[in-house]
Homo-oligomer: A and B are copies of this chain.
Amino acid sequence: VVVTSPLLQAVLDVLGTLVFAVSGGIVGVRKGLDVFGVLALAAATGLGGGFVRDLAIGAIPPAALDSVLLLGAAVTGGMLAFLLHVPIGRVERWVGMLDAVGLGLFAVVGAVKAADFGIDPAPAALLGMVSGVGGGVIRDVLAGRVPVVLRQEIYAIPALLGAALAVLAYETGTYGTATALAAVAAAATLRIVAMLRGWNAWHAPGTGRT
CB within 8 Å of B: which residues of A?
Answer: 28-29, 31-38, 40-41, 51, 55-58, 60-62, 65-66, 68, 71, 82-83, 85-86, 114, 119-120, 122-123, 126-127, 130, 137, 141-147, 149-151, 153-157, 200-207, 209
Contacts and interface: CB of A to CB of B under 8 A. Distances in A.
Given A29-B204, A56-B55, A85-B204, A36 B142 contact: no
Contacts of A149: 37, 40
A68 B34 contact: no
Contact of A154 (B36, B38, B147): B36
A51 B130 CA distance: 12
Contacts of A29: 204, 207
> What 6 pairs across the A-B complex have the smallest Cβ distances?
A34-B201, A65-B123, A58-B60, A37-B150, A29-B204, A86-B206
A45 to B, nearest CB: 12
Contact of A32 (B61, B83, B205, B207): B207
Q: Copies of this chain, how many?
A: 3
B66 A62 contact: no
A28 B150 contact: yes
A68 B120 CA distance: 12
Contact of A143 (B58, B83, B122, B146): B146
A145 B31 CA distance: 12
B201 A35 contact: yes
Nearest to A149: B40
A114 B35 CA distance: 28
B202 A35 contact: yes
A145 B144 contact: yes
Contact of A119 (B38, B61, B85, B204): B61
